Structure 1
Amino acid sequence: MRNLEEIISLVPDLNREDLDRWIEDALIEAEQEAGAPALSEMQFARVRLICSLRFDMDVEEETLPVVLDLLDQLHDTRARLYTLSQAVMAQDETVKGAVLQALSQRKPRNEG
């Protein structure tokens, strides 16, 4: 866990007002540690992502929730796909072959 002052000192261009607003707007989730707000390593990474979106890519503040939600969905989808692929690989050769056959016959959405 990292306290907010430490995070501000480690992230270029980040100020306390932005960090407090992102916590208030639930873009990041702070936990209490020793009576003060602190962020997990995952939430610290999210702060760095938000800073990159805001300051490097000029994503508007009002757009951040949409972009972050889409990124969260993509991350969740990748995790589910990984779990599914592991489940398929654990099956016998007949089942794996049938799954691969079905995937090879599927047409991409943009091809009709």
Structure 2
Amino acid sequence: MSEEQMTITIDALITQVSGLQREDLEHWIANQWVRPEDAGSGGDYVFHAIDVARVRLIQELHHDLQINEDALPVVLSLLDQLYDQRRRLRALNDAIAAVAPEDVRRDLARHLAEHEK
């Protein structure tokens, strides 16, 4: 099973993330800052690798960088937008590399280099 497919329980996550408190994590879930899979009737949450990364990010922002709870949703939203744009740019780059002729790719690279100056 790949790392992306691995799942863990809330107890395992609390053990893995230094300083993470169950109350904080449950609060983040209630605020939908973290969206684990619900295991169903009376079951525990199931956290995927992306959820674990999100928990680590929130832990760092809130506890290490002291971003207050009122600002946290704004910061998370901005980071989500940034990550989404990075994914889109990567997909665009891959599409250009796959379908554009060499001369077009070269012209694009030259044009971008000129605008970085």
Same fold (TM over 0.5): yes
Deviation larger for 39-48 or 91-100: 91-100
Gaps spanning 5+ residues in structure 2: where? 1-6
Root-mean-square deviation (CA, aligned residues, Å) is 1.9
Q: 1:103 aligns with which of 99, 106, 112?
A: 112
The structure with more helix, counted as a fraction of residues:
1
Which deviations, in whole Å up to 9, do the C-alpha atoms of 1:4-28 show, x marking residues without a partner? 1111122122111111110000000
Which residue is 1:39 aligned to? 47
Unaligned runs of 5+ in 1: none
Identity %: 37
TM-score of the aligned structures, taking structure 1 as reference length:
0.83
What SS class does the counterpart of residue 71 from structure 2 fall into? helix
TM-score scaled by length of structure 2: 0.80
The alignment covers a number of residue pairs equal to: 108
Match of 1:48 among 28, 45, 56: 56
The one of 28, 34, 38 equivalent to 1:28 is 34
